Structure 1
Amino acid sequence: MNRSLAMIACIVLTFTCTRAISKESANSCPLHAAAAADNAAAIEKLLSEGAELDARDRSGSTALLVATRANSVHAARALIEAGANVNAQDNIHDSAYLYAGARGHLDILKMTLAHGADLKSTNRYGGTALIPAAERGHVETVRTLVEAGVDVDHVNNLGWTALLEAIILGRGGEQHQRIVDILLAAGASPYIADREGVSPLQHARSRGYREIEKALLDAGAR
């Protein structure tokens, strides 16, 4: 291959990584592959050679989002410290910040919070990072997001707050009991009902979640 053809191939590859929409980001973009493999050294080398930090694959994912999905902490740190956008959302509105919160990837979440995470950003369901974290029982993630200042009474497109989602989609066990306690202590309203007018207390009672019911009553729910 002569020099001109090699240059064209390089340009095409860069364009593909930046513009193309690919499910196989790790195969098409070296930076994404390094992120998935948690290879911080490779990331630093690629960036020093001119790789675009926030290039996207076909799913709209940046390398940082790829690293976050894999919970690749070292890769995420290298990318964030290089200035990667923690709020860049893919085609289904996931960002490194939102995904780390939803999945309980606490180390990466804390890094995004320290580097400009948009606490008001929302996922494809219109929910903040706090709502899926509460649903999935990620106690320390919920605590971290509450302490960061995420709106505890934000209502998503389903008409649910984090408190409602912790009760409706949770299992009523110790993790969700602790999450309810954290939310209530942070000022979450025990009165905000779902779209059908069913309150958090009614949902807890109908599911037999006695500890959560007690916590709601102690917070003034009626």
Structure 2
Amino acid sequence: MLKIDDSLVLFDAAENGDLDCLKACLESGININLQDKKKRTAILIASINKHYDMVHFLAESGADINLQDQTSLNPFLYGCIHGDLKLVKMMISAGADINLLTRFGGVGITPACEKGHIEVVRELLTSTDINVNHTNYCGWTPLIEAIVLNDGGETQQAIIRILLEHGADTNLTDQYGVKPIELARRKGYKEIEDILFTAGIE
């Protein structure tokens, strides 16, 4: 009979990148999708610790890559939030559900835009059909997040250009009916205001 302590070895192996130990755990009958007290799976723990060989092994061995923990994280969303392009690519290749939501109701591109992870944003928009105009629980699109939740600098300007190139709707407002160009104006982000104006937005 499997003991609780035995199952905890799985999570320790995932955290430490001990692939041989993890394989032994699975061979002993431990569920590959077992979740810890925070509802984290072994593949999520391995992803957080950048043990990519283990992430690949678990995905190939049938781990449910879409299971989310108590804060709505799974490997794909974790990669988007933390700018881990390698992990994001791995999860896309493994067939991750790109429509699953973060705890704030965004899809993966939402936090990637907010946090300035330009390579992740580019990857999502060029290799998936993720919704560039998804609206989160705050009533914000990725474009709005890119404007109001960062510093308005060159990286954010580049992200906004990429979003526009891939169909970001500049007429979608925040929860108060304010358009992106006005939000940029209020933040004092003249460069972003100019980008939106040049794109034909008034």
* TM-score for the superposition, normalised by structure 1: 0.85
Alignment match, 2:143: 163
What CA RMSD, in Å, does the superposition of the two structures yield over aligned residues? 1.5
Give the 4+ runs in structure 1 shifted more than 3 A. 10-14
The residue type equivalent to 1:73 in the other structure is Y
Aligned residue-pair number: 201
Q: For 2:159, what is the secondary structure of its paired residue?
A: helix
189, 197, 200: which one pairs with 1:209? 189
Runs of 5+ in structure 2 lacking a partner? none
Q: For 2:122, what is the secondary structure of its paired residue?
A: helix
Structure of greater Rg? 1
Q: For 1:91, what is the secondary structure of its paired residue?
A: coil
Is 2:111 aligned against 1:132? yes
Aligned partners of 2:4, 2:177: CA distance in 1, in Å? 55
Deviations, residues 171-190 of structure 1 (Å, cap 9, x unaligned): 11111111111111000011
Alignment match, 2:92: 113
Is 2:3 aligned against 1:11? yes
Runs of 5+ in structure 1 lacking a partner? 1-6, 18-28
Aligned partners of 1:213, 1:160: CA distance in 2, in Å? 17
Aligned partners of 2:198, 2:65: CA distance in 1, in Å? 38
Aligned partners of 1:214, 1:71: CA distance in 2, in Å? 39
Matches within 5 A, 1:7-156: 7=1, 10-13=2-5, 17=7, 29-147=8-126, 148-156=128-136
Q: CA deviation at 1:153?
A: 0.2
Aligned partners of 2:85, 2:30: CA distance in 1, in Å? 27
Contact (CA 8 Å) 1:35, 1:63: kept in 2 or not?
A: yes
The residue type equivalent to 1:11 in the other structure is K
Deviations, residues 163-212 of structure 1 (Å, cap 9, x unaligned): 00010001111111111111110000111110111111011112222221
> How much identity, in percent, do the aligned residues show?
37
Aligned partners of 1:40, 1:178: CA distance in 2, in Å? 39
Q: CA deviation at 1:71?
A: 2.6
Aligned partners of 2:119, 2:110: CA distance in 1, in Å? 13
The residue type equivalent to 1:98 in the other structure is L
Contact (CA 8 Å) 1:39, 1:74: kept in 2 or not?
A: no
Aligned partners of 2:18, 2:157: CA distance in 1, in Å? 38
Alignment match, 1:221: 201
Contact (CA 8 Å) 1:100, 1:108: kept in 2 or not?
A: yes
Deviations, residues 104-154 of structure 1 (Å, cap 9, x unaligned): 111111111111211111111111011001000000001111121110000
